[in-house]
Amino acid sequence: MIARRAAEVTPFYVMEVLEEAQRLQREGAHVIHMEVGEPDFDTPTCVVESAMSALRAGQTHYTHSMGLHELRAAICGDYRERYGARVAPEQVIITQGTSPALYLVVAAVLEPGDEVILANPCYACYPNYIRFAGGVPVYVDTDEDGGYQLEPAAIAGKITPRTKAILINSPANPTGVVLDAERMAAIAGLGPLVVSDEIYHGLVYEGQEHSILEYTSDAVALNGFSKQFAMTGWRLGYAIAPLGLARALQKIHQNLFISANSFVQWGALAALQEPECRTAVEKMRQTYAERRLYLLERLNRLDLSIPHPPTGAFYMLVNFRRYCSDSLSFAFQLLRDAHLAVAPGIDFGSNAEGYLRFSYATSLENIAEGMDRLEKYLATLR
Ligand X SMILES: Cc1ncc(COP(=O)(O)O)c(C=O)c1O
Q: Which residues bind ligand X (CB under 6 A)?
A: 37, 97-99, 123, 169, 173, 197, 199, 224, 226, 232, 237
Q: Cβ of residue 228: shortest distance to ligand X, in angstroms?
A: 10
Q: Are 152 and 190 in contact (CB under 8 A)?
A: yes
Q: Cβ of residue 302: shortest distance to ligand X, in angstroms?
A: 26
**Sign of the Cα pseudo-torsion (51, 56, 57, 60, in order):** positive
Q: Cβ of residue 350: shortest distance to ligand X, in angstroms?
A: 18
Give CA–CA dist 258/278, Å, rounded.
Answer: 30
Provide the H-helix boundaries in the chain.
4-7, 13-26, 45-56, 69-83, 98-109, 126-132, 152-156, 181-188, 243-256, 262-273, 275-301, 327-338, 364-381
Q: Cβ of residue 199: shortest distance to ligand X, in angstroms?
A: 5
Q: Which of 324, 313, 315, 312 is nearest to 355 (CA)?
A: 324
Q: Which is nearer to ligand X, 152 or 224 (CB)?
A: 224
Q: Under DSSP, is residue 121 helix (H, G, I), strand (E, B) or coil?
A: coil
Q: Which is nearer to ligand X, 35 or 298 (CB)?
A: 35
Q: Nearest residue to ligand X, using CB?
A: 97
Q: How far is CA 274 from CA 50, 62, 236, 237, 238, in A?
A: 10, 24, 18, 18, 19
Between β-strands 136-141 and 115-120, what pairing exists: parallel, antiparallel or unpaired? parallel
Q: Are 98 and 223 in contact (CB under 8 A)?
A: yes
Q: Which is nearer to ligand X, 115 or 197 (CB)?
A: 197
Q: Which is nearer to ligand X, 87 or 124 (CB)?
A: 124
Q: Cβ of residue 75: shortest distance to ligand X, in angstroms?
A: 14
Q: Please, which contacts does 131-136 make with residues 24 or more away whose CB atoms are closer than 8 Å?
A: 131/5, 131/8, 131/9, 132/5, 132/9, 132/103, 132/106, 133/103, 133/106, 133/107, 134/5, 134/110, 135/106, 135/110, 135/164, 136/162
Q: Which is nearer to ligand X, 35 or 197 (CB)?
A: 197
Q: Which is nearer to ligand X, 152 or 171 (CB)?
A: 171
Q: Cβ of residue 224: shortest distance to ligand X, in angstroms?
A: 3
Q: Cβ of residue 200: shortest distance to ligand X, in angstroms?
A: 7
Q: CB count, 10 Å around CB of 138? A: 18
Q: Which is nearer to ligand X, 298 or 357 (CB)?
A: 357
Q: Which is nearer to ligand X, 103 or 320 (CB)?
A: 103
Q: Which is nearer to ligand X, 199 or 304 (CB)?
A: 199
Q: Are 245 and 91 in contact (CB under 8 A)?
A: no
Q: Cβ of residue 377: shortest distance to ligand X, in angstroms?
A: 26
Q: Which of 217, 114, 222 is nearest to 159 (CA)?
A: 114
Q: Cβ of residue 124: shortest distance to ligand X, in angstroms?
A: 8
Q: Which is nearer to ligand X, 238 or 266 (CB)?
A: 238
Give CA–CA dist 99/79, Å, rounded.
Answer: 20
Give CA–CA dist 93/104, Å, rounded.
Answer: 10
Q: Cβ of residue 77: shortest distance to ligand X, in angstroms?
A: 20
Between β-strands 32-33 and 340-341, what pairing exists: parallel, antiparallel or unpaired? parallel
Give CA–CA dist 354/330, Å, rounded.
Answer: 9
Q: Are 358 and 318 in contact (CB under 8 A)?
A: yes
